[in-house]
Amino acid sequence: MKNKVIAVVTVVLGLTAAIGPRTIFPVCSAAEMKMKCYYTAQWELVVGIIAALVGVGLILINDKKIRTVLSVIEIALGALIVLIPTAIVGVCSSPMMHCVSVTRPALIVTGVLEIVTAAVSLYFAVEDKLGKGSIKVAQLEN
Amino acid sequence: MKIREIVFRKIKNGKTGGAAAFFFAVLLSFTVFAGTMLYSSLSKGADNLKARLGADIAVVPKGQESNYQGIILNGEPIECSFERKYESTIRSLEGVEKVTPVIYLASLNASCCSVPIQIIGYDPETDFVTTPWISDECVSKYKEGSLIVGSNIAIDEGNTLTFFGRVYEVSARLNKTGTGMDKSVYVSFDVIKQLIKDGNEKGIKFGDESSLSGEDITEKYVSAFLVSVKEGYSVDKVAGLIMRDVPGGIVQSKSLYNTVTTGIKLISDTVKMLIISVFAAITFVTAILHIYRVNNRKKEWAVYRMMGGTGTWIRSYILTESMTLSLLGGIVGIFFAALFYFPFSDLISEQIGLPFFVPGILQIIGMVVLSLVITALSAVIPGIIAGEIASGTECYVLMREGEN
């Protein structure tokens, strides 16, 4: 059950990264010329949709090995969500622009949450694969 | 096995029943960290403003006083025209040490920005406000006719900025202050003349007088005079003399600073009240939650007692478990607060409209420690109460409780 809940969260975060830069926290309007943030929104759409699809895979697939691989992919996609507006493509250079003060921070938060959620999913997948281990007899102090 | 090892193992296996206490610890540390960060950022912004104001009095055209505050606090572009002949009048007044004219121009088509930015023109011969900052931070790079930009101004790839079709070299960028000055470009009067000339050629007029040329604006009209008062003289008295002889409005640095500190005090009082109320409420709720979860684990305490655990051992165990849950919640709360606070600091600064400067790493570490200490403290009393309840009952009673 907890695996499914975590997988649903990764899907929601992936969709947020995909459509957020066009709806909830939009990049600057590209009426006259296409700025850097326009391309960031394009890349985020692709990466976000892939992240959501990988999340759907996590919901549907129960095999531990595949879940481990999907979680690792999801972590990498979360890192990409952060890196696209900060390093790979970037946003407008003026700190006064909307894409700098709203879109980029929102994508950073979404990406970091995606990484954390995928890391938890990976932890559960690896733990399930290895088993919980034998219970050691506790020796109490005193 | 040591107490903390058992605690960590139980938490890892989710056998403590402490999820709700953990959640409240997240909430408390989030509030404390975000609140103290907000307060520190505003205080640091106010300190920067105080250091950067330079002049004691600004003399502006009547009715432009609030606009002047807007330039300093938020970098909102304004233009105003004030006859320069009053410079000598102000200079001759008793108690006036230095006077310098400044020109504020709103640029409508800088290559850097889609929004207008403030261009601040200074007279290099008399300036005592802008030049000290230039000489402090970038004297080696400064060239005549080049621009100095605030930290929020984006420049073109070739280290240039284009105004009204003309390319200017950017010689230096000032450090971030968290005030409206970060959104300004500083130029000497020679550059201002050129800017106005280029603007006029493109059909853009500056100042209240629509026909003013670049020469008129620097020689006959300026936007304001900045005045420094001699030591030992009252700023209020000098301001009174200026108001008597010059038909303009007065903005005193101390009143500007007071406006800011009043705003900050209001926010800091709210933050303090919020932290105290959240701390009190969460300590109370956590106490109930710890008592509840300890009561649900009576058989476990009985087993520890049968294995030789003393009442003191059980009390230490429960206190360690409560504080560990709170500390873990505290770490998660700080993580979430930092995750939202740092990326969104520009937006928060914009929304608050007061000088705002994120503090340095040492201060941030201090606030992390403070948040963790407060969060851990919120679990001390609940942990002690819960420990007393668990250790105070006889082993036999604990074991048989719930049986018929």
Let me know how long chain A is: 142
Give the pLDDT band of residue A76 (cuts 50, 70, 90): very high
Q: Comparing C-alpha atoms, which of A115, A90, A94 is closest to residue A38? A: A90
CA of B347 vs chain A CAs: smallest distance (Å): 5
CB A74 within 8 A of CB A54: yes
Distances (CA, A) of B77 to B72, B112, B185, B354: 10, 15, 11, 16
* pLDDT value of position B127: 83
| Interior angle at CA B348, CA B367 and CA A12, nearest 5 | 95
* pLDDT value of position A132: 52
Q: Which residues of A touch B1 (CB under 8 A)?
A: 138-141
Mutate to test the interface with A, among B114, B162, B358 (most CBs of A within 10 A): B114
Choice among A130-134, B240-244, B307-311, B360-364 with the minimum mean pLDDT: A130-134
| Cross-chain residue pair A140–B340, CB shorter than 8 Å | no
Q: What is the 3-state secondary structure (H, E, C) of chain B?
A: CCHHHHHHHHHHCCCCCCHHHHHHHHHHHHHHHHHHHHHHHHHHHHHHHHHHHCCCEEEEECCCHHHHHHHHHHCCCCCCCEECCHHHHHHCCCCEEEEEEEEEEEECCCCCCCCCEEEEEECCCCCCCCHHHHHHHHCCCCCCCCEEECCCCCCCCCCEEEECCEEEEEEEECCCCCCHHHHEEEEEHHHHHHHHHHHHHCCCCCCCCCCCCHHHHHHCEECEEEEEECCCCCHHHHHHHHHHHCCEEEEEHHHHHHHHHHHHHHHHHHHHHHHHHHHHHHHHHHHHHHHHHHHCCHHHHHHHHHCCCCHHHHHHHHHHHHHHHHHHHHHHHHHHHHHHHCCCHHHHHHHHCCCCCCCCHHHHHHHHHHHHHHHHHCCHHHHHHHHHHHHCCCHHHHHHCCCC
Residue B16, token pair as written in the block:
């403590």
Q: Which residues of A touch B303 (CB under 8 A)?
A: none
Average per-residue pLDDT for chain B: 82
Q: Comparing C-alpha atoms, which of B75, B191, B195 is closest to residue A95? A: B75
Q: What is the 3-state secondary structure (H, E, C) of A53-101?
A: HHHHHHHHCCCHHHHHHHHHHHHHHHHHHHHHHHHHCCCCCCCCCHHHH
CA of B22 vs chain A CAs: smallest distance (Å): 17
* pLDDT value of position A47: 97
Return d(Cα B195, Cα B357) in angstroms, integer: 31
| Cross-chain residue pair B343–A101, CB shorter than 8 Å | no
| Mean pLDDT in residue range B26-39 | 94
* pLDDT value of position B75: 62
Choice among A9-13, B14-18, B356-360 with the minimum mean pLDDT: B14-18
Q: What is the DSSP letter of A136?
A: P
Q: Comparing C-alpha atoms, which of B392, B55, B104 is closest to residue B227? A: B55
- Position with higher pLDDT, B138 vs B186: B186
CB B22 within 8 A of CB B379: no
Query: Hey, is the C-beta of B352 within 8 angstroms of any chain A C-beta?
Result: no
Give the pLDDT band of residue A141 (cuts 50, 70, 90): very low
Q: Comparing C-alpha atoms, which of B21, B387, B111, B57 is closest to residue B241? A: B57
DSSP helix, strand, coil percent of chain A (3-state; round to 5)? 75, 0, 25
- pLDDT single digits (tens) B170-225: 887 777 777 777 878 888 888 888 888 887 777 766 655 555 565 666 677 888 88
Query: Hey, is the C-beta of A134 within 8 angstroms of any chain B C-beta?
Result: no
| Interior angle at CA B239, CA B234 and CA B240, nearest 5 | 100
- Give me the torsion for CA of B381, B385, B387, B390, rounded to 10°: -160
* pLDDT value of position A20: 95
Q: Which residues of B touch A141 (CB under 8 A)?
A: 1-3, 313
Please count the structural domains in chain A: 1
Q: Which residues of B touch A28 (CB under 8 A)?
A: 114
For A125, the 3-state DSSP assignment is: helix
Return d(Cα B392, Cα B375) in angstroms, integer: 27
Residue A98 main-chain phi, psi, to 5 deg: -60, -40
Neighbours of B211 (CB within 10 A): 8
What percent of chain B has pLDDT above 70?
A: 85
Which chain A residue is nearest to residue B156, measuring alpha carbons?
A93
Query: Hey, is the C-beta of B19 within 8 angstroms of any chain A C-beta?
Result: no
Distance of CA B299 to the CA centre of its chain: 52
Return d(Cα B95, Cα B228) in angstroms, integer: 9
Overall pTM > 0.95: no
* pLDDT value of position A13: 97
| Interior angle at CA B150, CA B144 and CA B151, nearest 5 | 130
Query: Hey, is the C-beta of B10 within 8 angstroms of any chain A C-beta?
Result: no
| Cross-chain residue pair B114–A112, CB shorter than 8 Å | no
- Position with higher pLDDT, B265 vs B134: B265
Between A94, A108, A142, which is nearest B112 by CB?
A94
Return d(Cα A51, Cα B331) in angstroms, integer: 27
CB A51 within 8 A of CB A71: no
- pLDDT single digits (tens) B229-258: 998 888 899 999 998 988 888 888 888 788
Interface pTM, i.e. ipTM = 0.82
Q: Do strands B147-149 and B166-173 pair parallel, antiparallel, or not at all (unpaired)?
A: parallel
- Give me the torsion for CA of A20, A23, A28, A33, rounded to 10°: 110
* pLDDT value of position B174: 78
Domain holding A109, by residue range, is 2-141
Residue B98 main-chain phi, psi, to 5 deg: -135, 150
Q: Do strands B160-163 and B166-173 pair parallel, antiparallel, or not at all (unpaired)?
A: antiparallel
| Cross-chain residue pair A95–B154, CB shorter than 8 Å | yes
* pLDDT value of position B214: 58
Q: State yes or no: pLDDT of B300 exceeds 90.
A: no
Return d(Cα B177, Cα B200) in angstroms, integer: 33
Residue type, B310: T
Neighbours of B274 (CB within 10 A): 14
Choice among A23-32, B113-122, B167-176 with the minimum mean pLDDT: B113-122
- Position with higher pLDDT, A6 vs B3: A6
